[in-house]
Structure 1
Amino acid sequence: MQMPSTIKVEIKRQANPNAPATTEKFEVPYRPGMNITSLLGEIALNPVDVTGKPTTPVTYDSNCLEEICGSCAMLINGKAMMACSALVDKLTGPNKDQTITLAPLSKFPIVRDLSVDRSVLFENLKTVKAWVPIDGTYDLGSGPRQFPQVQEQRYPLSNCISCCCCMEVCPQFNDVTNFVGAATIAQTKLFNLDPAGAVLKEDRLRALAGDGGIGECSFAQNCVMTCPKGLPLTEAISDMGRDVFVQKVKDLFAR
C-alpha cells in the first residue's frame, strides 16, 4: 500500500491568555512511527501553513518524550492524551486521510498555543501535604520496613506523572466545585500508606474533608479510563472516602 506523503493537522492557537483563539492548518511530511511531538517538531522546522503563509512555531510543553514527565498532555482529536505516546499512524484512520486536531487542555489557563498553566494541581498537592515530612541533611539511617502487600498498593500510585488528564476529563473539576481531582486524592493515599508519611495522615484526611475535597467526586470514573499510566484511581478515591468518613467521626467524638 502506498503511504501518504503528508499528514494534515489542525491546531488551535492563542498568542497569549488574552488573545483570541485561532485555528491554523498544516501539512507535515509523513514518516512511519511519528508521534505528535515529532509532528510539532516538523512544523517548527518549517512554520508555514497550508496556504503557504509563514507563521510561528507552535508552543507546547514537553521534556522526557517517553511518557514520564507528564508535561505534553493536550487534546488530540478531542481526547486528553500525551503527545509523546500518541502515534500518528493510530490517529489518522485506516487510510491515513483524517485530519489530526490539536488543542490545549480546556480546564486550565492558557499560556500560549498548546501550553497551559497546571499549577492548580501542585497547589492541591500542597493542600493535602503530599510529601514525606523528613527534614535535615544528616543520615537518618535505613527507612522503616514495609510489608510487600503495602508496597504493591503504593507502587501503582507512585507512577502518577502529574499530566492532569484525569482532571481534564472530570465533570466535577471546575471553578464552581474547586474539586482537587483524582490525582491529588491518589497521592493522598500514597503518602498515607508510607510509614514515615503517615504522621500527616490526619491532616491530609481533614483537607480532603473540606471545600473541594472528596465529597465533590461524582464517581464518573472518567479519570481511570483516561489515565495514561493506568493508575487505580477509583479504588484510591473509594479508600480515601472511607478514611475521610472515619476521620470525621473521630474528630466529632474528640470534641
Structure 2
Amino acid sequence: MANKTVTIEIKRQSGPDAQATWEKFELPWRPGMNVISAMMEIAANPVTAAGQETTPITYDSNCLEEICGSCAMVINGKARMACSALVDKLEQPIRLQPLTKFPVVRDLAVDRSVLFENLKAVKAWVPVDGTYDLGSGPRISPQEQEVAYPLSNCISCCCCMEVCPQFNDATGFVGAATIAQVKLFNQHPSGKVLKEDRLRALAGDGGVQECGFAQNCVQACPKQLPLTEAISDVTRDVIVQQIKDLVRS
C-alpha cells in the first residue's frame, strides 16, 4: 500500500473565455481519501504527473460534509458532490470537470447564480416584515413537518439542474430545485400568503410546463429529495391557479 497512488485528470480553464485543457496529477493514496482532500493536496502542490509546475486548482468547497452544496462537479461523467465522492469507490483515472450547464468562472468553479435568480423569481421565502413583534409563529403539526422536512434539505448544489435535459438556454426551465422550494413554502402557514404569486411565476416561461419528467433529477439529488412528487403537486396547483385566474377575469 505504501506505493499506491491516485491518478486524477482535471479539466482546466483559466477564465470564462479561455481554451479548456486537461491536466493529469498523481498523488499518494491515503485511507478514506475523497475527491476534495485530493484536490486540496493538488492545490497545495500544483505539480502535474509529468513533473511540470502549474497553477493551483480553483474549485468551490466549504462544509466538506455534503451540507453546503458548493463542491458539486462532474466526476467520472456524473454530477455529484466532491466531498462525499470517495476515491476508493471511483474508477481511475478520476476525471473532474466543472458542471456543464453553468458559466465557468475558472477551472472547476462555475457561476450558479441562475438558481438564486430563479428562487427570487418565485419568492422562495417566508415573508416576515421584521419591523415589529409578530408574536409566536404558527403551529405546524408533526404530519406537516414530515412532509416539509425532506424539501427543506435542499443544499442548492444544482446537480438536478445539471442532469435535466430541459434545463437549457432554449427553455429557460427553472429546474427541480426551484419547484420543490415552491412546494415547501406554499405549505408553510406563513409562506402561503405568497402562494398565488409563486404559482403564477411557474405558469410563465420556464415554468412547470417545461418539465419533461425525465426524472434524472431524482437520481442525481445527493439529499434524495422527493422531486418527482414535488413537481407533480406543484404542476397540479399551477393548473388550478390558472383556472381560478381565468374564472376571475
> TM-score scaled by structure 2?
0.98
Matches of 1:50 and 1:141, distance apart in 2:
62
* Pairing of 1:146-165 with structure 2 (within 5 A): 146-165=140-159
- The match for 2:232 is 238
* Distance in 1, Cα, partners of 2:80 & 2:7: 19
Query: 1:64 & 1:17 partners in 2: Cα distance?
Result: 26
Q: What is the CA–CA distance in structure 2 between the aligned matches of 1:200 and 1:139, rounded to whole Å?
A: 20
Question: What is the match of residue 183 of structure 1?
Answer: 177
Work out the CA distance in 1 between the residues paired with 2:219 and 2:2: 32
1:166-220 alpha-carbon deviations (Å, 9 max, x no partner): 0000000000000000000000000000000000000000000000000000000
Query: Displacement of 1:123 after TM fit?
Result: 0.2
1:102 aligned residue (83, 88, 96):
96
C-alpha deviation, 1:29, in angstroms:
1.2
Q: How far did 1:45 drift? A: 2.0
Unaligned 5+ segments in structure 1 are 93-97
Which residue of the other structure, out of 216, 222, 229, is the alignment partner of 2:216?
Answer: 222
Alignment of structure 1 residues 12-91 onto 2, 5 Å: 12-91=11-90
String of CA shifts for 1:19-49, please: whole Å, max 9, x gaps. 0000000001110101111000110121100
CA distance in 1 between partners of 2:131 and 2:29 (Å): 52
Q: Which runs of 5+ in 2 are unaligned?
A: none
The alignment partner of 1:58 has SS state of coil
Aligned with 2:54: secondary structure?
A: coil
Q: Work out the CA distance in 1 between the residues paired with 2:152 and 2:2.
A: 40
> Offset of 1:137 from its aligned partner?
4.5
1:95 matched residue in structure 2 = none
CA 1:25/1:153 → structure 2, altered by over 3 Å: closer, same or farther? same
Q: How many residues align?
A: 249
C-alpha separation in 2, matches of 1:57 and 1:78: 23
Distance in 2 (alpha carbons) for counterparts of 1:137 and 1:83: 41
Give the TM-score taking structure 1 as reference length.
0.96
CA distance in 2, matches of 1:180, 1:145: 31
For 1:116-148, what per-residue CA distance to the aligned partner results, in whole angstroms no more than 9, with x for missing partners? 000000000001000011012543221111122
1:3/1:239 CA distance change after superposition, 3 Å: farther
Q: 2:162 & 2:219 partners in 1: Cα distance?
A: 12
SS of alignment partner, residue 43 of structure 1? helix
Secondary structure of 2:96's match? strand
Q: Which amino acid aligns with 1:175?
A: D
Structure 1 pair 229/4, CA: closer, same or farther in 2 (3 Å)?
A: farther
Q: After TM superposition, give the deviation of residue 12 of structure 1 in Å.
A: 0.3
1:124 aligns with 2:123: no
> Displaced runs of 4+ in structure 1, greater than 4 A?
none
